[in-house]
Amino acid sequence: MKPRIVRAIAAVTFREFWRSPDAVFWTYGFPLLMALVLGYAFQTPSPQPLPVAVVASAEAEAIVARLQRDPRLRPEVLAADAADRSLARGRTALLVRPTAQGPVLRSDPTRPDAELARLLVERALRPAGAESQPALVGEVEDRPGSRYIDFLIPGLIGLNLLGAGMWGIGFNLVHLRTQRLLRRLVVTPMRPREFLLGFLLGRGVLVVPEAIAIALFGALVWGVPFRGSLLAFALLVLAGGFAFMGLGCLLAARPRTIEAIAGLTNLCQLPMWLLGGVFFSNERFDGALQWLVEAVPLTHLNGALRDVMLEPAGLIDVAAPLGGLVAFGALCFVLAVRWFRWT
């Protein structure tokens, strides 16, 4: 391994990236934009009131008046057919049909809001006198470190490492192959591992600053905390970047067309998006799915990133995922060097 060659490859790779403003934006600007949009979308502390349709009738006004006492409900009076249509389209969570025997509640329990709406409506319509149970006090979880945005920011850092590694490496390697530049390089005294390592360094040099930018952005805009070890954070970002770049190298080892590498990358990336615990917790799946969750490297990176950001975790606490990510990246890299196609 000659450092001179690795450096030269890294330099030309970095410049190629840095001189493409569009590539820089989509790799490093876009995730910040996504953090901003998602952060705002989920920051409202009280959720939207649930729409409830009351079928027009003599008793409708009285029912609406009782439902309005609960701010979590938004009742409206609709004609019978309009109320049915509204329920069918999901514009309303629950339908209340007054009858001689009392109100009938109609809903589709497979919709997420339906059961909550039913509970709230049942309570609001309880006969007077039945309210003698002790009142329960509700608290809103809004302490920094426990909100959705606090959960999201470490996930976005992990997601960004995944994207930068897999697309940034895989796609560009195949591009160089289609340009026949790899053929030209392999007839020089350069060794395959020198080329791949230089390529990883050239593309990966911005990985840590970018992760710090997202963390800083979360801290300044939403007060997302940073409670753990900065060193552990930096090492995790490097290890995560290495793992996904290694995977990018491996996926790009054989394909000869851009279409093939795009397909392969999507195939690998989609399960990670879904199971890697980026946008929602992945600790509540059951059976085989939970096994898959554990098999996805992004799960371990995101978990460890949350540990060092949201909890006072140090290097020792994240040593296992750190080692796992490095081992995964190294395995991918070695296989990529072995199987790499230059022509």
* Closer CB to another protein, 1 or 58, in the complex: 1
* Closer CB to another protein, 202 or 276, in the complex: 202
Minimum separation from the CB atom of position 195 to another protein (A):
10
Minimum separation from the CB atom of position 16 to another protein (A):
5
Q: What is the amino acid identity at position 165?
A: G
Minimum separation from the CB atom of position 178 to another protein (A):
9
- Tell me the C-alpha distance between 162 and 244, whole Å: 6
* Closer CB to another protein, 77 or 260, in the complex: 260
Task: Give the Å distances, CA to CA, from 209 to 28, 92, 157, 199, 263.
Answer: 10, 46, 11, 18, 29
Minimum separation from the CB atom of position 184 to another protein (A):
4
* Site residues (vs another protein, CB under 8 A): 4-5, 7-9, 11-12, 15-16, 19-20, 179-181, 183-184, 186-191, 342-343
* Closer CB to another protein, 2 or 227, in the complex: 2
* Closer CB to another protein, 52 or 206, in the complex: 206
- Tell me the C-alpha distance between 283 and 299, whole Å: 10
* Closer CB to another protein, 23 or 116, in the complex: 23
- Tell me the C-alpha distance between 294 and 266, whole Å: 19
- Tell me the C-alpha distance between 269 and 162, whole Å: 8
- Tell me the C-alpha distance between 53 and 74, whole Å: 9
Minimum separation from the CB atom of position 201 to another protein (A):
14
Minimum separation from the CB atom of position 254 to another protein (A):
16
The answer to whether 228 touches 314, Cβ cutoff 8 Å, is: yes
Task: Give the Å distances, CA to CA, from 271 to 245, 265, 275, 292.
Answer: 17, 11, 6, 9
